[in-house]
């Protein structure tokens, strides 16, 4: 169990109490994800579903304004690094969550215990996206290679000063969420601690539980599911438009989705390396990286993680 002190000390300084006491509106919609599970993808889809597929209406606006990160936004007042990060996410000075019109779309990577109390009390809508943890591990490793050079992590701290060029250096830390993994998954939460509480609540009326792999297989069906959950009527044409605009290829050419400014100025990612937010995409990427031994270790640990749960993830298509 990760306590409030750990969460406050890992990476960014999160304003734990402010987040817990955040005033939720009854019609807020929360997107919740374990990092690297398809957050950027959903941050493109949700505003479009909300506005009936009007792509022009979101062009030129930071996706971090359309769907702001709850924890980054609320912690920015107390943490200068976070304020700088917000700037590089193209969030205007003075931006505040209470300025947003209802219904607000908000996103968080926090596990359930650290979310605002009022989400549960007011039973506000939660869209949860889960991705298989092997592909998440690979995706996180690419992110780590970027962030370890960017100054967010402390280069005096031995576990953070490693090169992490090879997946084998990152893999053991990912499994237990220590070292740099704790920084990039900035609250040290392991995958199952994040996913399972929402899987258990998947039949609640205010919860929509989606899987990244289902989005890969049939994005149109997922867009329809999301619209129904959000009480939005979409024409067939609008569903097609959203599907096309949010395809991997289309998002690869979408500067706002790629978060180019943030990648260059915060993560220090070079243009030729490409954005870690829209990178390769797909299911089963881990097969190109995990050794037989690493895969066996992962399988054993994964079985422990999901023991007693009927959650089934798709690891390959």
CB of 147 to ligand PPS, least distance (A): 10
Spell out the residues 6+ positions from residue 239 whose beta carbon is closer than 8 angstroms to its own.
53, 220, 223, 224, 227
Minimum distance between the CB of residue 159 and ligand PPS, rounded to whole angstroms? 20
Which phi and psi (to 5°) does residue 138 adopt?
Answer: -65, -45
Does 36 participate in binding ligand PPS (rule CB under 6 A)? yes
Active site residue 109: yes
DSSP symbol at 235: -
CA neighbours closer than 13 Å in the CB half-sphere of residue 220: 8
H-type alpha helices, the chain: 4-9, 16-20, 39-50, 63-66, 70-75, 80-88, 117-122, 133-147, 158-161, 167-176, 179-184, 191-200, 212-217, 219-229, 236-245, 248-252, 255-258, 260-262, 292-305
**What would the x/- binding string for ligand PPS be over residues 265 to 294, using CB under 6 A?**
------------xxxxx---x---------
Q: Which is nearer to ligand PPS, 142 or 229 (CB)?
A: 142
Q: How far apart are CA 222 and CA 102, in angstroms?
A: 23
Instruction: Give the per-residue contact string, 96-135, with ligand PPS (x = CB under 6 A; - = no).
Output: ---------------------------------------x
Residue 28 near ligand PPS by CB under 6 A: no
CB 65 within 8 A of CB 272: no
Is residue 248 within the footprint of ligand PPS (CB under 6 A)?
yes
Smallest distance, Å, CB 148 to ligand PPS? 15
At its nearest, how many Å lie between ligand PPS and the CB of residue 282?
7
Instruction: Give the count of residues interacting with ligand PPS (CB under 6 A).
Output: 20
Question: Minimum distance from CB of 308 to ligand PPS (Å)?
Answer: 27
By CB under 6 A, is residue 35 in contact with ligand PPS?
yes
DSSP state of 247: S
Task: Please count the other Cβ atoms lying within 10 Å of the Cβ belonging to residue 255.
Answer: 11
Please report whether residue 73 would count as binding ligand PPS according to CB under 6 A.
Answer: no
When asked if residue 186 is in the footprint of ligand PPS (CB under 6 A), the reply is: no
Active site residues: 109
Q: Which residues bind ligand PPS (CB under 6 A)?
A: 33, 35-41, 135, 139, 142, 246, 248, 251, 277-281, 285
């Amino acid at each position: 169990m990760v306590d409030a002190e750990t969460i406050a000390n890992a990476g960014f300084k999160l304003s734990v109490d402010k987040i817990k006491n955040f005033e939720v509106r009854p019609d807020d919609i929360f997107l919740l994800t374990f990092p690297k599970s398809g957050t950027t993808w959903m941050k493109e889809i949700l505003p479009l579903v909300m506005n009936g597929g009007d792509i022009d209406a979101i062009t030129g606006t930071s996706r971090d304004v359309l769907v702001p990160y709850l924890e980054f936004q609320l912690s920015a007042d107390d943490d200068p690094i976070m304020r700088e990060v917000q700037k590089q996410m193209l969030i205007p000075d003075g931006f505040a969550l209470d300025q947003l019109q209802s219904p607000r779309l908000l996103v968080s990577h926090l596990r359930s215990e650290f979310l605002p109390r009022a989400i549960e009390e007011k039973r506000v809508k939660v869209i949860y996206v889960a991705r298989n943890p092997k592909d998440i591990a690979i995706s996180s490793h690419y992110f780590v290679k970027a962030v370890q050079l960017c100054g967010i992590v402390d280069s005096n701290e031995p576990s953070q000063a490693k090169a992490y060029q090879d997946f084998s250096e990152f893999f053991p830390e990912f499994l237990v969420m220590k070292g740099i993994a704790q920084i990039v998954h900035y609250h040290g939460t392991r995958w199952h601690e994040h996913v399972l509480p929402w899987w258990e609540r998947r039949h609640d009326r205010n919860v929509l539980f989606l899987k990244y792999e289902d989005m890969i297989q049939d994005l149109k069906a997922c867009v329809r599911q999301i619209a129904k959950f959000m009480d939005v009527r979409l024409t067939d044409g609008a569903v097609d438009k959203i599907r096309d605009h949010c395809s991997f290829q289309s998002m690869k050419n979408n500067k706002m989705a790629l978060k180019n400014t943030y990648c260059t100025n915060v993560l220090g990612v070079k243009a030729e390396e490409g954005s870690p937010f829209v990178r390769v995409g797909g299911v089963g990427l881990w097969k190109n990286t995990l050794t037989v031994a690493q895969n066996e270790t992962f399988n054993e640990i994964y079985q422990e993680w999901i023991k007693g749960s009927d959650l089934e993830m798709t690891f390959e298509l």
